[in-house]
Amino acid sequence: MSERKKVVLATRNKGKVKEFNSLFAELGWEGISLDAFEGVPEVVEDGDTFEANALKKATTIATYLNMPAVGDDSGLEVDALGGRPGVYSARYAGEHASDEQNWRKLLDELRGVPAQQRTARFRCVLVLAEPGKEPMVAQGTCEGVIAEAPEGTNGFGYDPVFYLPDKGVTMAQLPPEEKNRISHRAMAMGNLLAAIKRQG
């Protein structure tokens, strides 16, 4: 049996790590957490785009560890807010804001906005960086509506307020395996795999 490909997960987000562990398992990859290493540099997310930040996360870690690494930059784009919080999703309510502080601020900002104007999408850009190779970039989106109030405890981040009209529940009410079939991260992972296969 061939050895599983070892890929470092260039993220400090435990929710992403859980999802990647399942998504990687389906590919036969072994995801290695950043916690396994010492002295790993902090990545400053100063890009204007998800792609710039994902590229920086993946290449900084791949170069430092001399191993393949996947970087994920993701966030929520709300139409009534002109696409905000976008790349600033993690710091929407302040530099070290909690997930709950972020989604509470979002609900406050959208108070009084009618249901049909509460459309939004999650976007995820993934970069696979391997030492000595061109980085590969893929993205995925997931469409939904911002709820009036939080529901559900699964997932992370904005999941409790991200309502999926087709399913009649929020992302945080979905079982993890179902989120991993429909999410922006799952779509991006599928697109990354397709790009890798195309490259051969």
73 is catalytic: yes
According to CB under 5 A, which residues from 67 to 126 bind Mg ion? 90
Structure tokens given for 55: 């590229």
Distance, CA of 34 to CA of 12 (rounded, Å): 7
According to CB under 6 A, which residues from 76 to 135 bind ligand ITT? 89-90, 99, 102, 122
Distance, CA of 125 to CA of 187 (rounded, Å): 10
Using CB under 6 A as the binding rule, whether residue 73 contacts ligand ITT is answered as yes
In one letter, which amino acid is 26? E
96 appears as a binding residue in the annotation: no
159 appears as a binding residue in the annotation: yes
Using CB under 6 A as the binding rule, whether residue 16 contacts ligand ITT is answered as yes
Q: Which residue has the tokens 């061939």?
A: 2
Using CB under 6 A as the binding rule, whether residue 45 contacts ligand ITT is answered as yes
User: Do 69 and 7 contact (CB within 8 A), yes or no?
Assistant: yes
Q: Which residue has the tokens 């391997």?
A: 130
Distance, CA of 175 to CA of 44 (rounded, Å): 32
Pick one of ligand ITT, Mg ion, none as the site partner of residue 77 (Cβ within 5 to 8 A by kind).
none
Q: What is the DSSP letter of 79?
A: G
In the bound state with ligand ITT, the residue whose beta carbon lies nearer, of 11 and 60, is: 11
**From 35, 46, 73, 79, active-site residue:** 73
Distance, CA of 160 to CA of 57 (rounded, Å): 26
In the bound state with Mg ion, the residue whose beta carbon lies nearer, of 45 and 148, is: 45
Comparing CA positions, the residue from 126, 180, 89 lying closest to residue 10 is 126
Using CB under 6 A as the binding rule, whether residue 183 contacts ligand ITT is answered as yes
Distance, CA of 95 to CA of 88 (rounded, Å): 10
In the bound state with ligand ITT, the residue whose beta carbon lies nearer, of 12 and 121, is: 12
Q: How far is CA 31 from the centre of its chain?
A: 15
Least distance from C-beta 118 to ligand ITT, angstroms?
16
Pick one of Mg ion, ligand ITT, none as the site partner of residue 158 (Cβ within 5 to 8 A by kind).
ligand ITT
157 appears as a binding residue in the annotation: yes
Residues with catalytic roles: 73
Residues near ligand ITT, by CB under 6 A: 11-13, 16, 45, 72-75, 89-90, 99, 102, 122, 155-159, 183, 185
